[in-house]
Every structure is written in C-alpha cells, then in structure tokens.
Amino acid sequence: QVQLVESGGGVVQPGRSLRLSCTGSGFTFSNSDMHWVRQTPGKGLEWVAFISYDRSREFYVDPVKGRFTISRDNSKNTLFLQMNSLGPEDTAVYYCAKEGSTSGYYWGRFDYWGQGTLVTVSS
Amino acid sequence: DIQMTQSPSSLSASVGDRITITCQASQDVSKFLNWYQQKPGKAPKLLIYDASNLGTGVPSRFSGSGSGTYFTFTISSLQPEDFATYYCQQYDYVPYTFGQGTKLEIK
C-alpha cells in the first residue's frame, strides 16, 4: 500500500533553516509528481509546492517563493523541502502528498498524504 | 488567488441523515474540484476528485456534483465514522486552494 513518511520537523528560531524529508513506498516514486501542503489552525490547509516526477517543473505558493525549495532524490524515493528564512507564519504541520492526476498537464489532486511533521518557528 | 468558500462552516446531524455541503469558487474552475475528509490528528483523505468521481475505496454514500463556480458534496446516509471535517479544493489554477472546512458533528 502507498505510504508516505515525513521527517525533519521541530522547533526552529526565526530566520533559521530547516529541511523536511518525505520517503515514499508502495508505489513507483520516480514516476510520481509530488507536493507539500501545510496546515495551521488559523489559515487551514495551504498548498506549498509541487515538483514533477522528473524535476522539470516546480511551482510554489507566493509566500514561500525565494525561501523554500522543493527537490527530490528518485534513487532514494525521497522528497525534500528546504525552508530558509523561516518566520512565525511558517509554523504548521507539513504534509507531503502524492499527485493523483495522470493527465500529465493538470496537477493538484492529492491522492495520498503522509502523517505530517510539525514545524514550529519560535524564539 | 481563487477563493473557495464552503457553507456551512459547521453542521450537526444524526446517524442516517442526508447532508449536503456547498463550495463556491471565486472564479470558474471547470470540473477541477476535489473533496477531502479529515479526522482529528490525521491527514486529509481524498474522497471525490474532478467534482464527481469517487476516490479509491470510497463508499458510494459519498457523492459530489457541480462545475464552474458552484459545487456540492453529499453524504446520503451518515455513518458514525463520517463525523469529521470536510474540505473542498480547486486545482484549475496555481496556487491550488482549499475551502475553510466544514466540521460535521454528531447531534
């Protein structure tokens, strides 16, 4: 069965960096487009970033552009989110999610999610 | 960004009831609308994709309809395990955006 396991969350001071990881199993990771989505009590669910299976496409939500970088290592079935210049507004549970659309040109259907990893930005 | 507005924000119902949640998009998103269920402490689960298609393994009491800017999500006969929070989400445009959620509680 499809499984996604995130790691790397924790407490970090404002302005510092953190890298999240997500390891996938039970599906062909190297053929799958992937996303990061975050959730806060205040703002709800917010899509953060997308990367295509072959790393040819990347999309980001505006508040993280220039600060966050999504990447992947298909040889290790692992997705990453490098988060720099973190602020209190980045405090959230971060989920990795697998893309469910097979169209090849429409993305944004999150068919499987990890359990999430909590990032807290606080001094 | 496209704003997704769900109604109601919360809903009390009993086992066996039929309930409907609506989702309105601030502009036309065609059929590119998903519905998710989330239980406390868990990740969201995809229930409906492309407005009306049932996700893998999702019971047939769940259904969705609509296109353009107006969508509905229905549970035909509530079961105890259905009490959760439900979200709509559009994926016609980047950034993909979610509704604020509808919390379904037991009456």
Per-residue pLDDT of B9-23, as tens digits, reads: 999 999 999 999 999
pLDDT in the model for residue A6: 98
Are residues B43 and A116, on separate chains, in Cβ contact within 8 Å?
yes
Task: Answer whether residue B68 shows pLDDT above 90.
Answer: yes
Cβ atoms of B4 and B88 within 8 Å: the answer is yes
What residue of B is the nearest CA neighbor of A36?
B96
CA distance B55 to A83: 32
Token reading at A75: 């040889």
pLDDT average, residue stretch B38-56: 97
Cβ atoms of A44 and B100 within 8 Å: the answer is yes
pLDDT in the model for residue A104: 76
> A88 by DSSP, 3-state: which?
helix
Are residues A115 and B43, on separate chains, in Cβ contact within 8 Å?
yes
Q: Is A63 on the interface with B (CB under 8 A)?
A: no
Using CB atoms, which residue from A45, A61, A113 is nearest to B87?
Answer: A45
Token reading at A27: 């599906």
List, in sequence order, every residue forming a beta bridge with A6; answer none if it has no partner. Answer: A22
Q: What percent of chain A has pLDDT over 70?
A: 100
CA distance B9 to A79: 34
Mutate to test the interface with B, among A43, A101, A109, A117 (most CBs of B within 10 A): A109
CA distance A118 to B7: 29
Cβ atoms of B65 and B72 within 8 Å: the answer is yes
Cβ atoms of A56 and A64 within 8 Å: the answer is no
- Which residues of A are less than 8 Å from B97 in CB distance? 47
Token reading at A13: 């001071």
Q: Which of A99, A91, A93, A96 is nearest to A120 (CA)?
A: A91
Q: pLDDT for A15-57, tens place per residue?
A: 999 999 999 999 999 999 999 999 998 889 999 999 999 999 9
Alpha-helical regions (H) of A12-100: none
Token reading at B33: 């609308």
Instruction: Please provide the DSSP assignment of B16-84 as one string.
Output: T--EEEEEEESS--TT-EEEEEE-TTS--EEEEETTTEEPTT--TTEEEEEETTEEEEEESS--GGG-S
Q: Which residue has the tokens 């169209």?
A: A103
Q: Which of B45, B104, B99, B98 is nearest to B74 (CA)?
A: B104
Using CB atoms, which residue from A44, A101, A115 is nearest to B100?
Answer: A44
Token reading at A58: 């990347």
What residue of B is the nearest CA neighbor of A6?
B43
Are residues A110 and B94, on separate chains, in Cβ contact within 8 Å?
no
